[in-house]
Amino acid sequence: MSSLTSQTFVDRLIRENFKFFTGVPCSLLSGVISHLEEVEDAKYIPSVREDSAVGLCAGAYLSGALPVLLMQNSGLGYCLNAFTSLNLIYRIPVLVIMSWRGQGGKDAPEHIIMGDISQKLLETAGMDYSVLKPENFDQVLATAMQKINEEKLPYTLIIEKGLFDERH
Amino acid sequence: MKGTEAFQELLPLLGDEPVVHANGFICRESFNLKDRPENFYMIGSMGLASSIGLGVALCKPDRKVIVLDGDGNVLMALGTLAMIAAEAPKNLVHVVIDNEVYESTGKQRTLSNTVPLEKIAKSSGYREVARVDKKEDIKPAFEKMLNSQGPGFLLIKVEPCFDHKTGRVTHTPEEITERFMKSLH
C-alpha cells in the first residue's frame, strides 16, 4: 500500500510552503483539487485557461508566494508561449502538476497525440520534469525544490492515471 | 487624445503602486516616459498582464495593484476578466489603453471598435467601471478608481500614435523580475 494519496500529497506541498494553487481540472486530479478546496492553509483559484493560470502563478511568485499550477497535459500547448516568453526568460518558477492523458496510446482520441508528445515538448522547451511515483515522491520533490529555489525555473510533476483517487 | 498623451496624464498620478504592463507599445511608452522599479514589463506572453496582476493583487492585499493593459491583450484573455470579477480583489485597478489596433505590429485592427470592452468588464462583475475619451478626464477617473473598492476597470480610448523609434525596454527580463520583487517587499 502506498502512503501517497491526494491528501498526503497536498499536505506535503503545503508543508513545503506551496499555498497558492490554481489550474484547470482533470479527472485524474479531481481528488487533489477536492482536497485543496477543503484545506484551510491553501488557496485554490479556478483558472479559465491554463495560460491564465501560468500568469496567475507568475504574479503570485513575484509577490513572494510559491505557486502550483494543476492541469491536464492537453493544457501544455496553451502554456508553451507563456513558459518560453515569461517563466524561462524572467526566471519565474512554478511547480506544475500535469496529469498524463493518452499514456501508452490508450485513451480517448483527443488525448492520443498529446499523450505521446507532452514529455518531448517539455524537453524541447528545456523544462525539467519527473513522472511521480509513490516511491520517488521525496526524491522528485527535492529535485523540484532545487529547481525552483536555486535555478528559479519551473518544474513539472507528471501524474499517471490511478496515482490519485478520482472524485467524480 | 493620442496614446502617448494618455500615458503623460496617467504616469504622474502613480505613487509606489506595482504596475504590470502588457507587451507591445504599452511597455515601451511607459518605460520611456517614466521607468520605475515597481513596473513589471511583460515583453512576451501576450494576454497575461491581467492574470499576472491578479496574482500580485491576491498575494499583496495591502498594496494597490495596477494592470496597464491594451485592447489586443484584453481581447486575447477575455476569460481573465471573469477570473478577476470572481476573485474580486479590492486592490486591483485594471487600466486599458484602447487604440482599437495592434499598434506595435503595424496598426492591424482589433475588435474593440465594435465590441465595447468596458461593457464586458461591467457585466463580468468589476465593481467600478469607467470609460474616458478626453485627456482631462483621466486624472479624476483614475483617482476615483484608486480610492474606490476594486476591482476597477478604466478604459481610456486613444488614437494610435506610436513612434517606432521609441526604444524597447532595456532591462533584461531577469532584472525586471529582480527589481519588481524587491519593490514589493
Minimal Cα–Cα distance from A60 to chain B, Å? Answer: 5
Instruction: Specify the number of domains making up chain B.
Output: 1
- Pairing type for strands B152-157 and B92-98 reads parallel
Domain at A54, CATH number: 3.40.50.970
Q: Which cell numbers hold the place of A41?
A: 492553509
Q: Residue A167 falls within a domain, yes or no?
A: no
Shortest Cα–Cα distance, B52 to chain A (Å): 4
CA distance B179 to B2: 30
Task: Provide the CATH number for the domain around residue B81.
Answer: 3.40.50.970
Q: Provide residues of A within 8 Å CB-CB of chain B.
A: 20, 43, 45-49, 51-65, 67, 81-82, 84-86, 89-92
The pLDDT tens digits along chain A (168 residues) read 458 999 999 999 999 999 999 999 999 999 999 999 999 999 999 999 999 999 999 999 999 999 999 999 999 999 999 999 999 999 999 999 999 999 999 999 999 999 999 999 999 999 999 999 999 999 999 999 999 999 999 999 999 999 999 987
The answer as to whether A30 is a domain residue is: yes
Name the residue with cell 511547480.
A95
Range of the domain at A103: 6-159
The pairing of strands B108-109 and B101-102 is antiparallel
pLDDT digits 0-9 by tens, B92-135: 999 999 999 999 899 999 999 999 999 999 999 999 999 999 99
Residue B82: give the domain boundaries: 3-184
Whether residue A168 lies inside any domain: the answer is no
Residues B70-92: pLDDT tens digits?
999 999 999 999 999 999 999 99
Structural domain count, chain A: 1
- On whether residue A39 sits in a domain, the answer given is yes
Residue A16 lies in a domain: yes
Partners of B152 in the β-ladder: B93, B128
Put simply, the answer to whether A59 touches B20 (Cβ < 8 Å) is yes
Instruction: Tell me the shortest Cα–Cα distance from B17 to chain A, in angstroms.
Output: 13
